[in-house]
Amino acid sequence: MVAASPVEETAPLGPVPQAAYLNQMLLVETSLAPLALLEALLAIERVAGRVRGQRWGPRTLDCDIVLVAGARIREPGLEVPHPELPNRAFWQRELAALGITAGEAGW
């Protein structure tokens, strides 16, 4: 881990009533390819007790790959930059806290 943004409480997204979320963005360096990193993140979610049920529903943990330095990825199950990046102000604030600008983020 290179850096971490502050933890921020945000309202849930989507149509399912639920409690607020705690969000944080991490900047990491890894030798893993993006799809391998995604698989590792999904394994972390499972260990933390995440069960994928209702879309946009409550969850114990949600790990996303939002950006990969210098990369645009369009593969089944992984799109980078994350397609919701322009719509999530809290992600934009977290990127700014990590010192990543919109131009660097590619959106």
- Whichever domain contains 56, its CATH number is 3.30.70.560
Greater confidence, 29 or 55?
29
Contact 23, 92 (CB under 8 A): no
At residue 104 the predicted structure's pLDDT band, cuts being 50, 70 and 90, is low
Domain tally for the chain? 1
Q: Which residues of 1-34 are buried (b: 16+ CB within 10 A; e: fewer)?
A: eeeebeebeeeeeeeeeeeeeebebebeeeeeee
- How far apart, in whole angstroms, are the C-alpha atoms of residue 80 and residue 16? 26
pLDDT > 70 fraction of the chain, expressed in percent and rounded: 94
Angle at 39 between CA 59 and CA 60, to 5 degrees: 10
pLDDT, mean of residues 22-46: 96
Based on DSSP, count helices (H) and strands (E) in the chain, helices before strands.
3, 6
The pLDDT assigned to 51 comes to 83
* Helix ranges restricted to H, the chain: 34-47, 89-97, 102-105
The pLDDT assigned to 46 comes to 92
Query: Can you give the residue range of the structural domain that contains 62?
Result: 3-105
pLDDT, mean of residues 17-29: 94
Residue 94 exposed, middle or buried by CB count within 10 Å (0-12, 13-18, 19+) = buried
Greater confidence, 106 or 94?
94
What does pLDDT average to over the chain? 90
Cite the active site residues: 50, 59, 62, 64
